[in-house]
Amino acid sequence: MSEVTSSKIQSTRVGMDAAAIKQSILEHLVHTQSRFPDVASESDWYNALAHAVRDRMLERMMVTAKTYKANKSRTVCYLSAEFLPGPHLANNILALGIWQEVQEAVAQLGLDFESLLEEEVEPGLGNGGLGRLAACYMDSMATLKIPAIGYGIRYEFGIFRQEIEDGWQVEKTDKWLSYGNPWEIPRPRLRFNVHFGGHTEQFKDIDGILRVKWIPEWRVIGVAHDTPVMGYGVKNTNLLRLWSSEAAESFNFQAFNTGDYYGAVNEKVTSENLTKVLYPNDEPEAGKRLRLEQQYFFVSCSLQDMVRIYLQSGDPLDQFHHKYTAQLNDTHPAIAIPELMRLLVDRNQMDWDTAWHVTRNTFAYTNHTLLPEALEKWPLDLFKKVLPRHLEIIYEINSRFLDEARMKIHGLNGHLEKLSIIEEGARPQVRMAHLAVVGSYKVNGVAELHSELLRQNVLPDFHALWPDKITNVTNGVTPRRFMLLSNQPLAHLLRERIGCGWVTDLDSLHKLEALADDPDFQQQWQKVKRRNKERLARHALAATGQKIDPDSLFDVQVKRVHEYKRQHLNLLHIITLYNRLKDNPGLDIPPRTFVFGGKAAPGYFMAKLIIKAINSVAEVINRDPDMDGRLRVVFFPNFNVKTAHCIYPGADVSEQISLAGKEASGTGNMKFALNGALTVGTLDGANIEIREEVGKENFFLFGMTEAEVSALQQQGYHPQDYCQNDPELKSALDFLASGYFSHGDATLFRPLVDNLLNGDPYKVLVDYRSYVDCQARISEAYRDRQEWTRMSILNVARMGKFSSDRSIQEYTNNIWKIASVDVF
């Protein structure tokens, strides 16, 4: 019977040829969308196509789950408060290997494939690099056949949609679920209680053992929503399981009957608020309590789910860490450590030592930042109100840990304070990074320099205590989405010349080295770049109304807007170029288009002022007839994965200009270089490793090293000296402050200029001269197209290291110790 059923399924729902796909689309149009072709909208067709593709994935997802279950496979649980997967449809079609077939089916139906792809609203469930990295890793884990579940939050509203009004960023609610989400499978029966507040009581169990009972004050329910994540060219289909919150009692009849209509739905509103919105980074005060509740909520659901799955195997819980390794993506999920202890000790009556052994061997922690303000800390009083039992567990963990440390670092009491999970002071706090380090078996940074700085500066006492604990895994990005999918002209050329092996073995791009000097190949390379620049120009026109010339050099900086990333350094260079061209109209420099994109956290005044400054400078330059054909500036609104698809391939120059020692790794730097842009960058994060790989002659380096930055900080930094000693810098700052770019308003950009002159925390003024000179070298280099193209080819040829497959292989071998599992 089951054979019959499955072969029937095979023929009607999962056939891979164009005819079967077309049939599926039509069936879904009728049976899922309830529309007939004459009246179906683009959105109906998109949904029908998405469901047709999804059918073909679900079968694989079930076979995968069955295989992992039968094998009792060790599994990675990737705990992350953010996932930025980007649009699913095209990526899934590619992974299934049915691109041509779908195109054919869609064409037969008289539809336009590109506009169907455009219909998709991407899930913006992350802020930037961290969330996108999680998505790249999900892709690589599936492709490398590593059993994995990504656990996170199904935010009802993702990262805000950025609009630019009068040059300012305006935040609009991201209602990504408004039109439904064909990629997720709701699991209304997969639900867990999550408790908050209240107090704890001690009691003796029947064996006379003293135990603790948590009497919480309120609870919500977490409901699972699954999204399949397919590996490329393999059957393995892993799971992204996101939790949304529901009220335990969504309607209070009693309140309703007494006429209290608001009271009747109060609980529903409060409970659902929990997963309502993703908090933007760098907004420390925004909804602090709600954020802690969000973190606990998703972590508790995930761990309860892991325990549930585990117990199905019949194995004893003290072996839990053999089945699972849980990766903490930054400190956001670090509350998982006391939560697992609670589940083991309080719920399953395990003794503390065994539970601690299991916990400490379950978690590994990735740190993504060196910025002190981004290392999470929770005020003790707040923590106690929300999670009283967890605070007790943290105290116990801390006290036992400090005993262990005391013995190891005999007599050094001062160190203990620095190691403690609790920070004393006027308002004591829980240091989540310390909790994560103590409760994990491995800690990793995300680039060589970053990991080294973690060992030396951020966690030196932990490093002294456990010299083998802090390791490095340099970030990577998926070549499937960021080359094969988003740069099809390049993928096409590569297929013709070196085959397709690079899609899953990025090192094989090395084969391009032999072609770097071949004039014919160079010409084809230039054609590819030209097509991508034309595409970027079309998108820029649609998004900003601004016409840009694909013949000019496209100089691009896209990433979150933050002072440490120094978009304002880029801006000072633009103003300098403008001044030079105004003063000397005959100056011969290659025409340039500067492209910016990125969101600022809504509460981050300086970052928002930088966006305004970019747009104001753009307005003046783009309006000035003297700049016609010479200089253009555009700010691309609402930078996200979808817009990224057309921006990276169209860039000639990639701006990676953070102050050395501040950018943990960067991943945009990798995406640009993989698409043939040349990097202008500091020795920061993964730039260092990119430069090592591509060769220093193929990388435009400027600025201080991290050691020089530290030395300058020590000796005392006086930004005004730099301004006084550099007339071009002074003039650029004066222009910005004067009102020249702000319709005569000399107050608008004063805070930005004052910040640079009186403090300049990210040393923009120190690196200015070196940056501007480096940019002049870029202009010179761009004149020699042959040499430029050669450098571009070599950049791509040598980027193999930066595949997320390599990163995942390192996690697998060095941290998780997990084996791949074939799914047939």
Instruction: Give the nearest distance from C-beta 332 to ligand GFP in angstroms.
Output: 11
Instruction: Give the nearest distance from C-beta 261 to ligand GFP in angstroms.
Output: 42
Instruction: Give the nearest distance from C-beta 355 to ligand GFP in angstroms.
Output: 30
211 is annotated as an active-site residue: no
Nearer to ligand GFP, 667 or 775 (CB): 667
Binding test (CB under 6 A) with ligand GFP, winner from 74, 161, 368, 642: 368
What beta strand segments (E) does 467-536 contain? 470-472
565 is annotated as an active-site residue: yes
Strand duo 377-379 + 429-431: pairing? antiparallel
86 in the Ramachandran plot: left (φ > 0), alpha (ψ -120 to 50) or beta? left
Stretch that binds ligand GFP, among 47-55, 495-503, 662-670, 794-802 (CB under 6 A): 662-670
Binding test (CB under 6 A) with ligand GFP, winner from 15, 85, 124, 128: 128
The active-site residue, picked from 342, 434, 481, 559, is 559
> For residues 784 and 683, what is the distance between their CA atoms, to the nearest angstrom?
26
Map residue 582 onto helix, strand or coil. Answer: helix
The active-site residue, picked from 237, 667, 679, 682, is 667
Question: What are the backbone dihedrals phi and psi of residue 348, each rounded to the nearest 5 degrees, phi first?
Answer: -115, 15
If one asks whether residue 367 binds ligand GFP (CB under 6 A), the answer comes out as: no
406 is annotated as an active-site residue: no
For residue 109, the 8-state DSSP code is T
> For residues 87 and 83, what is the distance between their CA atoms, to the nearest angstrom?
12
Instruction: Give the nearest distance from C-beta 475 to ligand GFP in angstroms.
Output: 5
Nearer to ligand GFP, 559 or 798 (CB): 559
Question: What are the backbone dihedrals phi and psi of residue 506, each rounded to the nearest 5 degrees, phi first?
Answer: -65, -25
331 is annotated as an active-site residue: no
If one asks whether residue 133 binds ligand GFP (CB under 6 A), the answer comes out as: yes
Residue type, 671: K
If one asks whether residue 129 binds ligand GFP (CB under 6 A), the answer comes out as: yes
Binding test (CB under 6 A) with ligand GFP, winner from 84, 130, 194, 611: 130
Paired with 75 in beta bridges are 324
CB atoms within 10 A of CB 715: 8
User: Which DSSP string corresponds to 650-672?
Assistant: G-SEEEE-PPTTT-S--SHHHHH
The active-site residue, picked from 415, 529, 535, 560, is 560
Instruction: Give the nearest distance from C-beta 164 to ligand GFP in angstroms.
Output: 20
Alpha helices in 379-412 (DSSP H): 380-386, 388-408
If one asks whether residue 446 binds ligand GFP (CB under 6 A), the answer comes out as: yes
Stretch that binds ligand GFP, among 127-135, 460-468, 593-601, 700-708 (CB under 6 A): 127-135
132 is annotated as an active-site residue: no
If one asks whether residue 475 binds ligand GFP (CB under 6 A), the answer comes out as: yes
Judge whether 478 and 806 are in contact, CB under 8 Å.
Answer: no
Name residue, tokens 């981050």: 604
For residue 677, the 8-state DSSP code is P
Burial class (CB in 10 A: 0-12, 13-18, 19+), 758: exposed
What is the total count of residues that contact ligand GFP (CB under 6 A)?
Answer: 16
Q: Which two tokens stand for residue 159?
A: 């990262």
Binding test (CB under 6 A) with ligand GFP, winner from 667, 755, 807, 812: 667
Binding test (CB under 6 A) with ligand GFP, winner from 615, 654, 665, 682: 665
If one asks whether residue 671 binds ligand GFP (CB under 6 A), the answer comes out as: no
Binding test (CB under 6 A) with ligand GFP, winner from 664, 683, 694, 752: 664
The active-site residue, picked from 291, 415, 565, 806, is 565
Q: How many residues does the chain have?
A: 824
Question: What are the backbone dihedrals phi and psi of residue 115, each rounded to the nearest 5 degrees, phi first?
Answer: -75, -25
Binding test (CB under 6 A) with ligand GFP, winner from 56, 481, 560, 573: 560
> For residues 540 and 548, what is the distance between their CA atoms, to the nearest angstrom?
8
Stretch that binds ligand GFP, among 260-268, 302-310, 626-634, 658-666 (CB under 6 A): 658-666
- Measure the CA angle with vertex 357, ends 77 and 296; round to 5°: 45
Strand duo 199-204 + 185-196: pairing? unpaired
Strand duo 631-636 + 592-597: pairing? parallel
If one asks whether residue 430 binds ligand GFP (CB under 6 A), the answer comes out as: no
Instruction: Give the nearest distance from C-beta 689 to ligand GFP in angstroms.
Output: 12
Cα 735 from chain centroid (whole Å): 36
Stretch that binds ligand GFP, among 23-31, 209-217, 410-418, 657-665 (CB under 6 A): 657-665
CB atoms within 10 A of CB 110: 8
Query: What Rg do the C-alpha atoms of the chain give, in angstroms?
Result: 28
What beta strand segments (E) does 45-94 contain? 75-79
Nearer to ligand GFP, 473 or 778 (CB): 473
Instruction: Give the nearest distance from C-beta 374 to ligand GFP in angstroms.
Output: 7
Nearer to ligand GFP, 127 or 504 (CB): 127
225 is annotated as an active-site residue: no
764-783 and 785-797 helices, crossing angle to 10°: 110
If one asks whether residue 760 binds ligand GFP (CB under 6 A), the answer comes out as: no
If one asks whether residue 557 binds ligand GFP (CB under 6 A), the answer comes out as: no
Nearer to ligand GFP, 247 or 447 (CB): 447
If one asks whether residue 666 binds ligand GFP (CB under 6 A), the answer comes out as: yes
If one asks whether residue 663 binds ligand GFP (CB under 6 A), the answer comes out as: yes
Alpha helices in 503-640 (DSSP H): 519-544, 567-583, 605-623
Nearer to ligand GFP, 56 or 368 (CB): 368
If one asks whether residue 795 binds ligand GFP (CB under 6 A), the answer comes out as: no
Instruction: Give the nearest distance from C-beta 562 to ligand GFP in angstroms.
Output: 8
Range 604-642 burial, b when 16+ CB lie within 10 A, else e: beebbbbbbbbbbbbbbbbeeeebeebbbbbbbbbbbbb
If one asks whether residue 329 binds ligand GFP (CB under 6 A), the answer comes out as: no
Stretch that binds ligand GFP, among 126-134, 192-200, 239-247, 505-513 (CB under 6 A): 126-134
* Residues in touch with ligand GFP (CB under 6 A): 127-130, 133, 368-369, 446, 475, 560, 663-667, 685
Query: Which residues does the annotation mark as catalytic?
Result: 368, 559-560, 565, 667, 671
